[in-house]
Structure 1
Amino acid sequence: MEGSENQEQLRPSSIWNAEPNPGNHACWHFLLLVRVSTHDEGNNSMPRIVEDRNVSKGNKPAPKKNFAQKSFMRRRRDISEKMHPFPSQGRQMDAPMMPTYGGHAVDALLSHGASGATALFFQENRKDSRTLRILRQAEGHKVPLHPVSRKTLDEMTGGARHQGFVLYCANPEPTWQPDHLSRLLRTLSEPALLLVLDGVQDPHNLGACLRSADGAGAHAVVSPRDRAAGLTPTVRKVACGASESVPLIRIVNLARTLDELRNAGVATIGLSGEADESLYEIDMTGPAALVLGGEERGLRRLTRANCDRLARLPMLGAVENLNVSVAAGISLYEVRRQRESHRYPPMAQDKPSPP
């Protein structure tokens, strides 16, 4: 190929190691035509390789699948279609389709507008009051309804407790941005009550914390974006609808957020077993943020340093600490108890008249 500016040569190459037999079409299952062209650029010659795959008519037939393989492939295809409803109707599937399952979670999501909901799968032949209420809400939001068997729901949720409902949403997580926290504080008509979680990774704990926060009237739950649980289907299920009513604000820098809360007049109280002061000794009738650590290490050193004060829950038994969701519930309701007592002080009893 020397002495020519542009010269091409077609060279057949087989994918089989053995020498191909022209009479045997199976050996020519794939024929790779490798086009090699060279062009001189001074003293350097750079080859350019282009592969062209040509499938001959004598393709080797694919091995037949047995009954078990066919059944598995069919079931996987059916479940795949359920995981991505209505691809043939031109729906945008760019956003991930996340399921929300559980009666309370689905009911709460539909009650708050069902933003991004694409399909509701429910257990067929159920006519109880909760099922009818959820179906009416879904119809009101024009969410397509699909009655399926309980076995299908089990497969869609991986065996989780779905209570007969699976709702798919294209955008299941509320878009609470870090700056929403400052906006929230400006719009409150009562002292702020926040729950700040420092690296809670267990979705069951996060769901339980959201549920306790909703019950105690907390205005938001704050959690880092990194190394912490997000709003997953398990969190929604455990929260029993609280994930739709309590904002989960995920921030980038927890230490900076605590500093911003302090500047906004919110007292940041970190819970630590080594603290000298009991939580019951602190006045929390004003704006307050309770800061709790993760499951393994508790509050990190930098988080502790950025809290206004540290407090502990009294431990009278043999164990050293409580589960983070249990501690969150106790602490939040202590704040609520103090505020209710401050708002409605006990009435002075009449002194008995002297005899």
Structure 2
Amino acid sequence: MTGKPPSHTPKDTHYARLRREHRERIQANAPAVDDSIVRLYGLHTVRAALLNPRRAKLRFLATRNALQRLELPEDIPGTTAEIVEPRAIDALVGADAVHQGVLLETRALDTKRLDALGEANLVLVLDQVTDPHNVGAILRSAVAFGAAALITTSRNSPQESGVLAKAASGALEHIDHVEVRNLADALTTLSQSGFQTIGLDSEGPAELEQSFSGGRIALVLGAEGKGLRQKTRSTVDTLARLDLPGAIRSLNVSNAAAVALYAARAHLLSRS
């Protein structure tokens, strides 16, 4: 009766050790990943970022055709492009990203403090809205309706990214981003500063248009499906609903934000 053969021979062990040492050498020599670098892509997104003097532009890639379509001024620093083929950008952001032949590597924009709102009369507050596509779409509506800032929590909120910026279609460059640690405390501070904090809730006791009462408004929206957290609901000054007479009684959070912003802007204009 013969025993079981060894699971690996000395030769196998030798090659396994060589492979392991090779992997370790590659890892040791690999450049460190810089989490502060954001890759923005898409014509509207990249053009707006290039024209934003607050942006730290690190590397700008473009195809010849895309560079012509950008129609950039010649006197803007950081707008000299490396001319590449589309596959070079695919390799950086993935073949599924609709980059339209342009990519900008940059630093994320600095966030601001709550006390930097100044004389703003309309802001948008997100309570753990995490989908970057939704947040990007919300940013686009916020800029369109003249909101001064988007307020989010430092946790459970998406960070600036190519996906978020593409959905915002350039809006990221035109609005302040305020980041807070405790949303309930921030809402209390807003209220004490003269903002009427209005939480959107499908079961809110009053219609949104009938709820406005002041000259400074902070609209508060919750995550898709979950809505506002209980702490947020108990902290806002007012809970209000959108009047939806149709068969569908709720909207995607980005659509709800657009409708609410339109109503808030109409109210503020009526006071001026």
> TM-score, with normalisation over the residues of structure 1?
0.65
1:37 matched residue in structure 2? none
Out of 77, 88, 102, the position equivalent to 1:152 is 88
Within 5 Å, give how 1:193-232 maps onto structure 2: 193-232=122-161
Partner Cα separation in structure 1 for residue 67 and residue 157 of structure 2:
39
Q: Which of 230, 234, 241 in structure 2 is aligned with 1:305?
A: 234
Letter in 1 for 2:41: Y
Residue of structure 1 in register with 2:105 after alignment:
168
Q: Distance in 2 between matches of 1:230 and 1:284?
A: 33
Q: Which amino acid aligns with 2:45?
A: A
Indicate if the aligned counterparts of 1:105 and 1:239 stay in contact, CA closer than 8 A. Answer: yes
For the residues of structure 1 that align with 2:54 and 2:77, how far apart are their CA atoms?
7
Amino acid at match of 1:308: D
Larger Cα Rg: Structure 1 or Structure 2?
1
Q: Once the 2 structures are TM-superposed, how far is the Cα of residue 28 of structure 1 from its aligned partner?
A: 10
CA RMSD of aligned residues (A): 2.7
Which AA in structure 2 matches 1:274? Answer: E
Which SS does the other structure have where 2:245 is aligned? coil
Look up the equivalent residue of 1:101 and give its one-letter code: Y
- Please give the secondary structure, in 1, of the residue aligned with 2:46: helix
Are 1:256 and 2:189 an aligned pair?
A: no
Equivalences for 1:1-355 in 2 at 5 Å? 96-113=36-53, 115-126=55-66, 128=68, 130-133=69-72, 136=74, 140-142=76-78, 145-158=81-94, 159-169=96-106, 171=107, 173-177=108-112, 180-185=113-118, 188=119, 192-343=121-272
Percent of residue pairs identical:
34
Q: CA 1:308/1:114 → structure 2, altered by over 3 Å: closer, same or farther?
A: closer
Work out whether residues 198 and 218 of structure 2, in 8 Å CA contact, stay in contact via their aligned partners in 1: yes
Offset at residue 299 of structure 1 (A)? 0.5
**Deviation for aligned residue 1:316:** 1.2
1:314 CA drift (Å): 0.8
- Offset at 1:283? 2.8
More helix by share: 2
Distance of aligned partners of 1:279 and 1:147 in 2 relative to their CA distance in 1, 3 Å threshold: same
Matched AA of 2:37: M
Following the alignment from structure 2 to structure 1, what is the Cα–Cα distance between the partners of residues 219 and 12? 72
Structure 2 Cα separation of the partners of residues 315 and 101 of structure 1: 36
* Distance apart, 1:29 and its partner CA: 5.4
CA deviation digits over 1:39-96, x for unaligned, max 9?
xxxxxxxxxxxxxxxxxxxxx9x9xxxxxxxxxxxxxxxxxxxxx9xx8xxxx97554
Quick one: which amino acid aligns to residue 150 of structure 1? P
> Per-residue displacement from partner, 1:11-45 (whole Å, max 9, x unpaired)?
xxxxx865xxxxxxx79959x9xxxxxxxxxxxxx
Q: Partners of 1:335 and 1:164 in 2: how far apart? A: 38
> If the length of structure 2 is used for normalisation, what is the TM-score?
0.84
Name which structure has the greater RCO, CA cutoff 8 Å, separation 6+: 2
Match of 2:26 in 1: none
Asked if 2 retains the 8 angstrom alpha-carbon contact of 1:150 and 1:164, the reply is yes
Look up the SS of the partner of 1:168 in the other structure: strand
The number of residues matched between the two structures is: 253
1:124 Cα deviation after fit = 2.9
Q: 1:132: how far off? A: 3.5
1:39 aligned residue: none
Matches of 2:223 and 2:61, distance apart in 1: 35
The residue type paired with residue 61 of structure 2 is F
**CA pair 28-195 structure 1, distance change in 2 beyond 3 A:** closer
CA distance in 1, matches of 2:187, 2:220: 9
Is the Cα contact below 8 Å between 1:99 and 1:166 reproduced in 2? yes
| Gap runs ≥5 in structure 2 | 1-7, 20-29
Question: In the alignment, residue 110 of structure 1 is paired with which amino acid?
Answer: L
